[in-house]
Chains A and B, each alone.
Chain A
């Protein structure tokens, strides 16, 4: 199997981000809330990437920010995925009123942009990580629902599924042995895209002041904290912004590669 260079870069970067996120406590030179320097100091031997608006080490906050950003995004995309894929498969295999009710409900949620729904809901709910993960996960599960339902419907009408039904196989065999193995690769690629979406979503909410609350900070929150420095030529806000972009691009490269692989498998041999 050949991995194109772009996907390889994406894969390596994604792994580095994951590593940093998991071992943040051991890697970060300073604790997350430690005010150890002056305001917006430039890079130095002491602070490799300088200090932020109240003098905290930017590198340390970036490393902890990776942990929070990736944790929240991962948790909400896992939630979106389990919920969406389960209900999507259910709707596809059962059909009938279950399918109708679920599909119309999803239509309704998707009729309004997720950010607007999130803003409306967050104006009432308390702002903590659990609520954020739940809100983002549920909102995003609608997209996973649509995709997994469509994929499963495509597979359900195949003759080999009919053959299994004619053999007398139970629902669990049909879902787990006939449908799921064939639905896996589009779903894996979709997981990458959902994860990116969650990263962008939580960053945006934090930037608007409605996501992760201080003194904790994810990357979006760090952009917010340091944005005023920009007009004085202090580029501290650009570092977390670049981190968001780098993570999203890396995962995108991997997902893109998985997607093309899936379509070429589906399309059979070329030429």
Chain B
């Protein structure tokens, strides 16, 4: 087997193993914490009989391992169980909300990725000079802002100072694409702001790292033009680290989405999760938590895979 294929298989297997382990932690680890699902549903005033009854009905008397495998089996067949708080089917509730979350994150990514790479290039090209210092100073500031703080500043600016947007982001089925885009403009701006700084700083570092290599000096001493040096010598080596940076920040975006959705009352997965954490609705929290974890693990895996594929030493073994 080609060594690169072996590495890829190994990395994918590791990702799946990690996902399995995470699912076990989300289910069994949480079970092990003090707290009782039946009590959570019925409240402190529940009679012992009612509690016992509910436990029996929910299968809470079975050993945790058995229930874990039932849960896992359910997930694999698309059955995520029902919510404790309102008895709704979790899979159904998640369905469209997941779509909304991906739409929001996708729009933010579509803007922030090219912008971050462009700014990273500019900063790296002028490393140590004023464009770099300005960009670095601004990003150091935005890195220090949590998503919700950035969000309220953006809301204040765009609804009070320059009132051009709505402070809530309502989307509903049947809305036109453009109406949707208009509705999510503010949350997208916030997400872009937050992700951009991280991504741009890491892109700058990745490019600078490549530009300081001895082979770049070799290329310069061949009398090649700066564009040729960047295009033919730096870029092939910078793609892997930059793509890896992008993937890592997409994973970061996944978390940012949770808070931003709450701020703007955007009806999607993050708000659904936070809502049910407050309601202590464990089955929903476990299911949604696992989805977020899976996306995060998948993106990290993708970053590694691209890194492996782009490495010439691995692509052309001795």
Q: Find out whether A and B make contact in their complex, taking CB atoms under 8 A apart as touching.
A: yes
What are some 8 contacts across the A-B interface (CB < 8 A)? A111-B297, A119-B273, A125-B33, A125-B34, A200-B146, A238-B153, A248-B145, A248-B146
Q: Spot the interface stretch: A29-37, A40-48, A228-236.
A: A228-236
Q: Chain A: residues with CB nearer than 8 A to chain B?
A: 107-108, 111-113, 115-117, 119-125, 196, 200, 203-204, 207-210, 220, 223, 227, 230-231, 233, 235, 237-238, 241, 244-245, 248-249, 252-253, 256
Question: Contacts A123-B281, A123-B285, A125-B33: A230 and B156 contacting too (C-beta < 8 A)?
Answer: yes
6 further interface pairs, Cβ-Cβ under 8 Å (given A125-B33, A203-B146): A111-B300, A112-B292, A112-B296, A117-B289, A231-B167, A244-B145
User: B148: CB under 8 A from chain A?
Assistant: yes
B286 contacts A120, C-beta separation under 8 Å: yes
User: B140: CB under 8 A from chain A?
Assistant: yes
The 4 residue pairs across chains A and B that have the minimum distance between CB atoms: A248-B144, A124-B35, A241-B149, A113-B255
B149 contacts A235, C-beta separation under 8 Å: no
B285 contacts A230, C-beta separation under 8 Å: no
From B30, B159, B263, give the contact of A124 (CB < 8 A): B30
A112 contacts B144, C-beta separation under 8 Å: no
Contacts of B35 in A (CB 8 A): 124-125
Contacts of B149 in A (CB 8 A): 203, 223, 241, 244-245
Q: What is the CA–CA distance of A220 and B26 in the complex, to the nearest angstrom?
A: 27
Taking the closest CB of chain B, its distance from the CB of A206, in whole angstroms, is: 10
Taking the closest CB of chain A, its distance from the CB of B287, in whole angstroms, is: 10
B292 contacts A113, C-beta separation under 8 Å: yes
Q: What is the CA–CA distance of A115 and B145 in the complex, to the nearest angstrom?
A: 16
User: B103: CB under 8 A from chain A?
Assistant: no
Q: What is the CA–CA distance of A252 and B280 in the complex, to the nearest angstrom?
A: 35
Q: How many residues of B contact A (CB 8 A)?
A: 49
When each residue 250-287 of chain B gets 1 if its CB lies under 8 Å from chain A and 0 otherwise, what string results?
Answer: 01101100110011000000000110111011100110
User: B224: CB under 8 A from chain A?
Assistant: no
B280 contacts A124, C-beta separation under 8 Å: yes
Q: What is the CA–CA distance of A231 and B155 in the complex, to the nearest angstrom?
A: 8
Taking the closest CB of chain B, its distance from the CB of A153, in whole angstroms, is: 21
Taking the closest CB of chain A, its distance from the CB of B224, in whole angstroms, is: 26
A113 contacts B300, C-beta separation under 8 Å: no
B141 contacts A249, C-beta separation under 8 Å: yes
Q: Spot the interface stretch: B17-25, B109-117, B182-190, B236-244.
A: B17-25
Contacts of A249 in B (CB 8 A): 140-141, 144
Taking the closest CB of chain B, its distance from the CB of A25, in whole angstroms, is: 26
Contacts of A238 in B (CB 8 A): 152-153, 156
Contacts of A120 in B (CB 8 A): 26, 30, 277, 285-286, 289
User: B143: CB under 8 A from chain A?
Assistant: yes
A230 contacts B274, C-beta separation under 8 Å: no
Q: What is the CA–CA distance of A113 and B248 in the complex, to the nearest angstrom?
A: 11
Contacts of A125 in B (CB 8 A): 33-35
A204 contacts B285, C-beta separation under 8 Å: no
Q: What is the CA–CA distance of A154 and B252 in the complex, to the nearest angstrom?
A: 28
User: B293: CB under 8 A from chain A?
Assistant: yes
Q: What is the CA–CA distance of A62 and B85 in the complex, to the nearest angstrom?
A: 36
Taking the closest CB of chain B, its distance from the CB of A173, in whole angstroms, is: 37
User: B160: CB under 8 A from chain A?
Assistant: yes
Contacts of A121 in B (CB 8 A): 30, 33
Contacts of A227 in B (CB 8 A): 152, 263
Q: What is the CA–CA distance of A252 and B34 in the complex, to the nearest angstrom?
A: 37
From B18, B153, B155, B277, give the contact of A111 (CB < 8 A): B18
Taking the closest CB of chain A, its distance from the CB of B145, in whole angstroms, is: 5
Q: What is the CA–CA distance of A204 and B276 in the complex, to the nearest angstrom?
A: 17
Contacts of A245 in B (CB 8 A): 141, 144-145, 149
Q: What is the CA–CA distance of A237 and B258 in the complex, to the nearest angstrom?
A: 20
Q: Closest residue of chain B to A232, judged by CB? A: B160
B293 contacts A112, C-beta separation under 8 Å: yes
User: B304: CB under 8 A from chain A?
Assistant: no
From A111, A115, A244, give the contact of B258 (CB < 8 A): A115
Contacts of B255 in A (CB 8 A): 113, 115-116
Question: Contacts A124-B282, A125-B35, A245-B145: A208 and B274 contacting too (C-beta < 8 A)?
Answer: yes
Contacts of B159 in A (CB 8 A): 230-231
Q: What is the CA–CA distance of A88 and B280 in the complex, to the nearest angstrom?
A: 34
Contacts of B258 in A (CB 8 A): 115-116, 119
Taking the closest CB of chain B, its distance from the CB of A142, in whole angstroms, is: 13
Q: What is the CA–CA distance of A186 and B210 in the complex, to the nearest angstrom?
A: 24
Q: What is the CA–CA distance of A208 and B256 in the complex, to the nearest angstrom?
A: 13
Contacts of B259 in A (CB 8 A): 115, 204, 207-208
Contacts of A220 in B (CB 8 A): 146, 148
Q: Which of B139-181 contact A (CB under 8 A)?
A: 140-141, 143-149, 152-153, 155-156, 159-160, 167
Contacts of A203 in B (CB 8 A): 146, 148-149
Q: Closest residue of chain B to A246, judged by CB? A: B144
B22 contacts A112, C-beta separation under 8 Å: yes
A204 contacts B146, C-beta separation under 8 Å: yes
Contacts of B156 in A (CB 8 A): 230, 235, 238
A241 contacts B153, C-beta separation under 8 Å: yes
Contacts of B22 in A (CB 8 A): 108, 111-112
Q: What is the CA–CA distance of A235 and B286 in the complex, to the nearest angstrom?
A: 37
